[in-house]
Structure 1
Amino acid sequence: MALNWVEIDLAALRHNFMQVRSRAGSRAGILAVVKSDAYGHGMVPVARELAAAGADFFGVSKCWEALKLRSAGIAQPILILAGIEPEDVPHVLEKDLRPAVYRPDHCRWLEEASRRAGKRARIHLKIDTGMGRLGVPDRELGPFLDQLMGFRHLEIEGVFSHLATSDEADKTFSHEQLHRFRTALQMFHDRAIPFRYAHIANSGGVLDIPEAHHQLVRPGIMLYGSPPSDEIRDPAPLKPVMTLKTKVLQIKWVAAGQSIGYGRTFICPRPMRIATIAVGYDDGYPRVLSNRGEALVRGRRAPIVGRVSMNLITLDVTHIPEAAEDDEVVLLGAQGPERITAEEIAEKAGTISYEIYCAVGKNPQRLFCNQTNGLA
């Protein structure tokens, strides 16, 4: 066994997917977002599990991610959310990928290559309804559509946008975006431009804004067991998918007045029983949690004392007399009756659960398991 490792619970992943299905109902398909290595959870194993569970589409950020899924046998349509570069065009046509399009030159690249190949490229046109990032600004959509109608080898399979504040309690701006999105969709109808899918609902939209579901929904963070924020009005009973585990390397008594770790940021106020564990910021655990974070040992919380270093952390286990060397330690996840969530870590670190998952998930020692059946 490695000194530290990440466990991915595929049964929890499937449970979360079914929560999406229950919210989306039978009317909307599910585009499962597995970009950035499935938020650190392992893109290929996650996609395979979700494909078996009934995912209709997958969403990635870059073309190489889509190619990796195709190489792994994923047959569902794959949307490349960030768009494409010229060198990606042959792969789009060969592997039947769906690029997001938001620039006229994207259309020209795909039109020319499709014409030469005698194919039609299926695209999803991205509209900026207020996020201010990628997308054709909705006020400029008319001229863009007029130009797009001249491309005979492009099939507009989807039209989509992205909600900026769906995870906030105040849905005012989300409803403004929905209005702008519907107005944009009407421009397609007015020009008799057909499309199959409209989609705008991310995890916050799936949970709190059913009128945003349209023909596809795009869950991301909720698949991995976290709500998009604590302001969600109608949360679902999600199950965390990722656990970060390590082991106790050494336990020793440290005298009162002795310092612990780099910079001597912790001085023992009394004799203390200190456990050194085999994880650090190289393993994605935030250094900012020095003297602030906690870990689970024998099902009890043990505070971090001293600095989080590259490969080691020190814990106060004075109050856990049964703690022993080689014990399993959990820094993210459950042990016995206790659980440390990504949201708890993120709050202490001044970030969001997404970043915690992506950082911790880079651990090369990643085990895929099933709550019921053990290792997958």
Structure 2
Amino acid sequence: MHHTSRLEISAAAYRQNITFIRSLIGPKPTISAVVKGNAYGHGIAQLVPIAEKSGVNHFSTFSSDEAREVLASSSGKAEVMIMGMLHLEEIPDLIRLGIQFYVFDLERLEAAIQAAKAVGIQAQIHIEVETGFHRTGFDWEERQRVLELLRKNAPFLELKGLCTHFAGAESAQNHPRIRQQILRFGDFADFFRENGLTFERSHAACSAATLLFPETQLDLVRIGIAGYGFWPTRETFQMMKSRLSPDNPNPLRRLLTWKTQIMSFKKIGQGDFVGYGKGFEAPEEMSLAIIPVGYSHGYGRNLSNIGKVLISGAFCPVVGIVNMNAIAVDVSHLADPKQGDEVILIGNQGDNEITVGSFAETSDLINYEMLTRLPSQIPRLIVD
């Protein structure tokens, strides 16, 4: 089956990113590849085998459907952890499958205990505590009740982790808040330890915290955006620059290249309007290439008259409104473009590049949002 575009996912780039992260954290902490949001748009089915071949066998998902997809894509050795959504009625199945999951409220904790009793298998749980993010996690005032339930039901529970989540470690303005969270997490850890409760792992660090707060690396780091070759923010990169080797000043390599091709051509005269409405009026005679990608494919309508693509190594601006399934680009400056010529929406061609960062800034989206908006229907091909 032919598609209008494709995403190429570089296994070599992922290996390089993991090697760099491992050089920072040392041999001890487990690296958990965060694959929520369809592996940040890269594809769970594609990313999991790449990660396993790179020595990563722990995966963090947001939801139970993602966790099941990781298992289906794995060679069979993966540890899978749900950080967010699951339905209480599916907990018995998750236990049978050996899927780990966060527990952040009493209802889920009690449901996990009852399910473990019913199926006769320990529930593998991570106790998430509230340290200042104020989204999910047991409050400090609930610690005694949690302790009592964990003690009383110890035969039915495997305490895989004690964890929390930081509220914006990628931005310096949040760092006082992050430091307070680190202290509060330490308070929770001390409380449970002093009361004789031990967890297999403690974990708190996302990509940004892993990079900027080495003391948060603990037993496991949850690597999301950095694994895919992106700094969490430009500010994060600036704060890291002094620690990077002059020989390799930007060690993260993006995995993703988005490619399509020229569908057809159109000649227009001075004063002609292009596409719907009057969003673009030709200032002179122009040659346009029609590209079979539009907002239904993740190429946002807000890139109308702003976006650029690469053809024959040259930047070609989008003209007119981005349609559901197509865009028009100005190729008047190209020598001899042909139907079927490769078009780069994100990636390198010749000496030029359209990065996800520049693409996202043009469309007023953050990297995370732009990547995860790429539809799952676009084929994702692994390249080395």
Q: TM range, normalised to the smaller chain?
A: over 0.9
Displacement of 1:95: 1.2
- Equivalents in 2 of 1:142, 1:315: separation in Å? 63
- Equivalents in 2 of 1:322, 1:71: separation in Å? 46
Displacement of 1:121: 1.5
1:234 paired with 2:235, answer no
Structure 1, 67-76 or 11-20: larger mean CA deviation? 67-76
Q: Which amino acid aligns with 2:257?
A: T
Aligned partner of 2:365 in structure 1 is: 351
Q: Give the direction of change, closer, same or farther, for the CA distance of 1:138–1:316 in structure 2 (3 Å limit).
A: farther
Contact 1:83 1:100 in 2 (8 A): no
Aligned partner of 1:373 in structure 2 is: none
Displacement of 1:43: 0.5
- Equivalents in 2 of 1:292, 1:259: separation in Å? 16
TM-score normalised by L of structure 1: 0.94
Contact 1:293 1:348 in 2 (8 A): yes
- Equivalents in 1 of 2:9, 2:30: separation in Å? 25
Contact 1:222 1:228 in 2 (8 A): yes
Q: Which amino acid aligns with 1:38?
A: A
Question: What secondary structure sits across from 2:192 in the alignment?
Answer: helix
Displacement of 1:248: 0.9
Contact 1:129 1:180 in 2 (8 A): yes
Q: Which amino acid aligns with 2:316?
A: A
Contact 1:83 1:101 in 2 (8 A): no
Structure 1, 209-218 or 315-324: larger mean CA deviation? 315-324
Question: What secondary structure sits across from 1:107 in the alignment?
Answer: helix
Q: Which amino acid aligns with 1:273?
A: S
Question: Where do 1:1-376 residues align within 5 Å?
Answer: 1-72=2-73, 73-152=75-154, 153-170=156-173, 171-232=175-236, 233-234=239-240, 237-370=251-384
Question: What secondary structure sits across from 1:47 in the alignment?
Answer: helix
CA offsets per residue over residues 246-274 of structure 1, 9 Å max, x none?
11112233111001111120001111121
Contact 2:57 2:77 in 1 (8 A): no
Structure 1, 12-21 or 144-153: larger mean CA deviation? 144-153
Q: Which amino acid aligns with 1:200?
A: A
Q: Which amino acid aligns with 1:246?
A: T
CA offsets per residue over residues 273-313 of structure 1, 9 Å max, x none?
21111111111111101001111111111111101101110
Displacement of 1:143: 3.2
CA offsets per residue over residues 59-97 of structure 1, 9 Å max, x none?
011122222222333422111111532222122221111
Displacement of 1:154: 1.2
Displacement of 1:140: 3.3
Contact 2:46 2:380 in 1 (8 A): no
- Equivalents in 1 of 2:72, 2:101: separation in Å? 18
TM-score normalised by L of structure 2: 0.92
Q: Give the direction of change, closer, same or farther, for the CA distance of 1:83–1:280 in structure 2 (3 Å limit).
A: closer
Question: What secondary structure sits across from 1:260 in the alignment?
Answer: coil
- Equivalents in 2 of 1:365, 1:84: separation in Å? 28
Displacement of 1:354: 1.1
Q: Give the direction of change, closer, same or farther, for the CA distance of 1:227–1:74 in structure 2 (3 Å limit).
A: farther
Structure 1, 127-136 or 108-117: larger mean CA deviation? 108-117
- Equivalents in 2 of 1:174, 1:204: separation in Å? 11
Q: Which amino acid aligns with 1:109?
A: A
Question: What secondary structure sits across from 1:234 in the alignment?
Answer: helix
- Equivalents in 2 of 1:47, 1:24: separation in Å? 21
Aligned partner of 1:374 in structure 2 is: none
Identity among equivalent positions (%) equals 32
CA offsets per residue over residues 171-196 of structure 1, 9 Å max, x none?
22211111111111111111110111
Q: Which amino acid aligns with 1:191?
A: N
Displacement of 1:211: 1.0
Q: Give the direction of change, closer, same or farther, for the CA distance of 1:351–1:139 in structure 2 (3 Å limit).
A: farther
Structure 1, 155-164 or 232-241: larger mean CA deviation? 232-241
Say how many residue pairs are matched.
370
Contact 2:297 2:378 in 1 (8 A): no
Contact 2:279 2:321 in 1 (8 A): yes
CA offsets per residue over residues 327-362 of structure 1, 9 Å max, x none?
111111111111111111211222211111112252
- Equivalents in 2 of 1:219, 1:306: separation in Å? 39
Question: What secondary structure sits across from 1:264 in the alignment?
Answer: coil
- Equivalents in 2 of 1:260, 1:145: separation in Å? 66
Displacement of 1:145: 2.3
Contact 2:229 2:253 in 1 (8 A): yes
